[in-house]
Amino acid sequence: MIDYLSIAQNEVVADLGAGTGYFCQQFLTHTAAAKIYAIDLEPNIRIYLQRRFADVPNLTCTACTPTSPCLPDDVDLLFMANTYRFITERSTFLANLKQQLPEKARVVIVDFKGNHARVTPKMAMEEVIAAGFEIYHYERDSCPDHYLLSFRLAP
């Protein structure tokens, strides 16, 4: 997964729906990211993340809302693992993301692709395109239960 993301040295990564910080830790351990934002909706999760990463100067915990990622201005990569399917107002969320996403930033969604997926890969792709984004990569086969969808602002 980390190799797929191709995080360049000094890039700024936002982990939206960071949960307990699994991917934040992977970014810290296996990349040269300059800064990491752990973004989550749940206040108790943010408290946990702040405690877990209290000694990490380049990791900042921030809040999002159900309809907005609340992205900082310096993000190069927005990463969402097992999060997209829980966003109930996805069209509003994507409209807000489009307004907040820096011009050259990219977004990667990793989510469940199984028969009982709340949001199928096809639905996610249709929603992203309808919101004015451009899909530049879709991977369905590298993970047994998940798909990877990479997109950016449409030119």
Domain locations along the chain:
6-153
Average of per-residue pLDDT across 54-66: 97
pTM: 0.95
DSSP class of 68: B
Statement: residue 60 has pLDDT above 90: yes
User: What is the mean pLDDT of the segment spanning 74-103?
Assistant: 97
In DSSP terms, which residues pair with 108 in a beta bridge? 79, 150
Nearest to 16 by CA among 95, 96, 70: 70
Instruction: Give the residue among 105, 142, 97, 93 at the shortest CA–CA distance from 7.
Output: 105
- Strand order across the beta sheet in which 77-81 lies: 59-63, 35-40, 12-16, 77-81, 106-112, 146-153, 133-139
The answer to whether the CB of 12 falls within 8 A of the CB of 37 is yes
CATH code: domain 6-153 is: 3.40.50.150
Q: Answer yes or no: are the C-beta atoms of 15 and 45 closer than 8 Å.
A: no
The phi and psi torsions of 3 (rounded to 5 degrees) equal -60, -40
Which pLDDT score is estimated for 38? 98
What's the chain's Rg over C-alpha atoms? 15
- Over pLDDT 90: what percentage of the chain? 91
pLDDT for 1 beyond 90: no
